């Protein structure tokens, strides 16, 4: 085993041991904004428990939302970083069917379709891990000014913004996914 290989092995072990405990020490918001600077070029070295980026493509009913997430390098960096702390509200494919306009559809040439889609995605990410959602509260998303109102819903789920239902959840080392039957924001 060369010097390089052992250095990498040590790095991987170090990450595995410390990333879990670190998530609890660091203030979620500061933590998150630090993460935005992260560049996803050392992904191939990092192995360990599955991240959101590892598990979300497996979900056949989320392909549309996954395409949107993966349009942005910094979002990929965020969901693939084992140190991130994220709650992802993921609209299922059927949630996009009845929308009057697509998330990247702009009204006129003064708007940038890519920026519009980016804001749509940020409006579905909360920078903290909620294994249960706080009923009666509003969660601040990564999109400025956009909050998600949480209430009790049917079958042990939650109702969001008074009209969207949560369904199946999926856990990863750096966060949790709640499947939802509508979109939370689409202006």
Ligand X SMILES: *[C@@H]1O[C@H](CO)[C@@H](O)[C@H](O)[C@H]1NC(C)=O
Q: Footprint of ligand X on this chain (CB under 6 A)?
A: 15, 18-19, 22, 38, 46, 81, 83, 94, 97-98
Compute the least distance from the CB of residue 109 to ligand X, in Å. Answer: 30
Compute the least distance from the CB of residue 5 to ligand X, in Å. Answer: 19
Closest-CA residue to 125 (of 106, 102, 148): 148
Record the tokens describing residue 170, joined without a space.
């999926």
Q: Where are the alpha helices (DSSP H) in 26-157?
A: 28-35, 52-55, 63-69, 73-80, 113-122
Q: Where are the alpha helices (DSSP H) in the chain?
A: 3-25, 28-35, 52-55, 63-69, 73-80, 113-122
Compute the least distance from the CB of residue 32 to ligand X, in Å. Answer: 12
- Own/partner pairs for 162-165, CB < 8 Å, 24+ apart? none
Q: By C-beta, is 55 or 106 nearer to ligand X?
A: 55
Gap between the Cα atoms of 27 and 128, Å rounded: 9
Q: By C-beta, is 30 or 115 nearer to ligand X?
A: 30
Compute the least distance from the CB of residue 84 to ligand X, in Å. Answer: 9
Q: By C-beta, is 19 or 166 nearer to ligand X?
A: 19
Record the tokens describing residue 89, joined without a space.
């509200």
Record the tokens describing residue 105, joined without a space.
């559809």
Compute the least distance from the CB of residue 43 to ligand X, in Å. Answer: 8
Q: By C-beta, is 34 or 113 nearer to ligand X?
A: 34
Gap between the Cα atoms of 82 and 174, Å rounded: 5
Q: By C-beta, is 19 or 119 nearer to ligand X?
A: 19
């Amino acid at each position: 085993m060369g010097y390089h290989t052992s250095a990498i092995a040590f790095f991987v072990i170090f990450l595995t041991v410390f990333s879990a405990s670190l998530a609890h020490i660091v203030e979620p918001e500061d933590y998150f904004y630090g993460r935005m600077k992260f560049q996803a070029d050392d992904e191939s070295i990092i192995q360990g428990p599955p991240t959101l980026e590892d598990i979300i493509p497996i979900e056949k009913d989320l392909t549309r939302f996954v395409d949107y997430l993966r349009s942005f390098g910094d979002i990929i960096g965020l969901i693939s970083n084992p140190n991130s702390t994220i709650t992802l509200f993921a609209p299922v494919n059927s949630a996009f069917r009845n929308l009057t306009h697509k998330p990247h559809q702009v009204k006129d040439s003064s708007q940038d379709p890519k920026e519009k889609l980016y804001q749509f995605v940020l409006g579905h990410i909360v920078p903290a891990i909620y294994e249960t959602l706080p009923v009666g509260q509003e969660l601040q998303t990564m999109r400025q000014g956009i909050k998600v109102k949480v209430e009790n819903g049917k079958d042990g789920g939650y109702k969001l913004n008074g009209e969207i239902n949560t369904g199946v959840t999926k856990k990863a080392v750096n966060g949790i996914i709640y499947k939802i039957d509508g979109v939370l924001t689409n202006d």
